[in-house]
Amino acid sequence: MSSQNLEDLISAGVDGRTVLVRSDLNVPLDNGTVTDDGRIRASLPVIRALSEAGARVIVMAHLGRPKGQPDPQYSLRPAADRLAEISDLTVRLAEDVTGSSAQALAGELQDGEVLLLENVRFDARETSKDESERATLADEMAALVGEGGAYVNDAFGAVHRKHASVYDIASRLPAYLGTLVATELDVLSKLTGEPERPYVVVLGGSKVSDKLAVIDNLIDRADTLLIGGGMLFTFLKAQGHDVGSSLLEEDQVEVVQDYLKRSAGGGARIVLPTDIVMASGFSADAEHEVLPVDALTTGAHGDSAMGLDIGPETAEAFSQEIREARTVFWNGPMGVFEFEAFSAGTRSVAQALTESRGLTVVGGGDSAAAVRTLGFEDSQFGHISTGGGASLEYLEGKTLPGVQALSSSEKDGA
């Protein structure tokens, strides 16, 4: 990665300068209360470093999908309050993105203070496919910092988006790579370069279609692929098993069969569950039982049964593979971990990662939410990614627009 980084910016001097920072504050809320502040805490080091160096910091971030217009339920107010609460920073929140409130507050900003712009997705131009619309918004964002300003992209969870605050703005100001993004790229590069072996990839989540590109890119890189979550039933169907009313992507069965053939032909060993927790329905208190995979429709609930977690035999087998690995990447829960009765598989995988002697990477999104919900600490894992979609796209071998823009801006002499 040749982009200039935060240390380059601070060493050049930021005292009295205004720095525009793209952070990832896309946190889950419950009635206006932040329920997982992991991304806020991960964003804090860069914001604090700039503040302590004397910069006037303007932070941009998004939350949810507000459809290009102001929507109170997606306001960044809870994130602003939480950021101020966990730090000793003065944090103010603008009422808009680049409008009169943002302009006025940016003009009043003092050295070391932090201004958070309102949700950038309240402006439809942020995500527009029309380059001219994004360009106009990027010009307005750049105007907020005035002469001598700079831009830092520290939002790994958004670098896979070609949005105004991620991509277009980087060509309008001297642009720098944030520490969080740099760390993410460094860790993920170890998963696609020369990882220590055995290299085990654990994939879960609801849909196999969401993971096809990752499987395609890693089946010849990893040693073992452990398959859980709702996506496992498409694999079991591809093997000829009945799956009851479990989540199934019928149109992906043929694709999965091809992966199984590639595995048998010398690719990564694909390990599938041998037992499943089958339930009478999708609810926290549904009746359930553990069945072997060759008897999923013969239990008490028959064809109406649906699998909501991997079984204990599978959980132990997966855990053993993880504990013996030297590199582990995990993306996607093993079951419906939000329901206590169906959380055991995900808990077992998380526990095994904490016991591994190798590099353990939790791939953001639902996986990160799961480990925190189940009571694990971030420090128990080698790395917890802040970007589920971005980390997957990196492992798929795709170019990340936000990172590409930083490299391009440097080549252009920004």
Question: Domains plus CATH for the chain?
Answer: 6-182+399-407 (3.40.50.1260), 197-357 (3.40.50.1260)
CA distances for 212 relative to 56, 221, 234, 258, 397, angstroms: 43, 15, 12, 11, 12
* Cβ atoms < 10 Å from Cβ of 116: 26
- 406 appears as a binding residue in the annotation: no
Is 365 known to be catalytic? yes
What is the per-residue pLDDT across 257-280, written as a single tens digit (0 to 9) for each? 999 999 999 999 999 999 999 999
- 39 appears as a binding residue in the annotation: yes
Q: What pLDDT does 187 receive?
A: 92
Q: Which residue has the higher pLDDT, 121 or 300?
A: 121
- 8 appears as a binding residue in the annotation: no
Hey, which bits of 67-118 come out as E strands?
91-93, 114-116
Residues 6+ apart with CB under 8 A from 242: 296, 297, 303
Helix (H) or strand (E) holding 259: helix 253-264
- 338 appears as a binding residue in the annotation: yes
- Catalytic choice (365, 387, 388, 402): 365
Would you give the distance in Å from CA 105 to the centre of its chain?
Answer: 31
411: confidence class by pLDDT, cuts 50, 70, 90: very low
Structure tokens at 228: 């859980």
What is the per-residue pLDDT across 146-186, written as a single tens digit (0 to 9) for each? 999 999 999 999 999 999 999 999 999 999 999 999 999 99
Question: What is the reported pTM?
Answer: 0.88
Is 207 known to be catalytic? yes
- Catalytic choice (207, 262, 269, 326): 207
Contact (Cβ atoms closer than 8 angstroms) between residue 61 and residue 76:
yes
Q: What pLDDT does 195 receive?
A: 94
- 54 appears as a binding residue in the annotation: no
Helix, strand, coil fractions of the chain, as percent rounded to 5: 45, 15, 40
Q: Average pLDDT for residues 294-304, to the nearest whole number?
A: 80
> Residue 414: is its pLDDT beyond 50?
no
- Catalytic choice (39, 56, 172, 347): 39
Question: What phi and psi, each to the nearest 5 degrees, are found at residue 73?
Answer: -70, -15
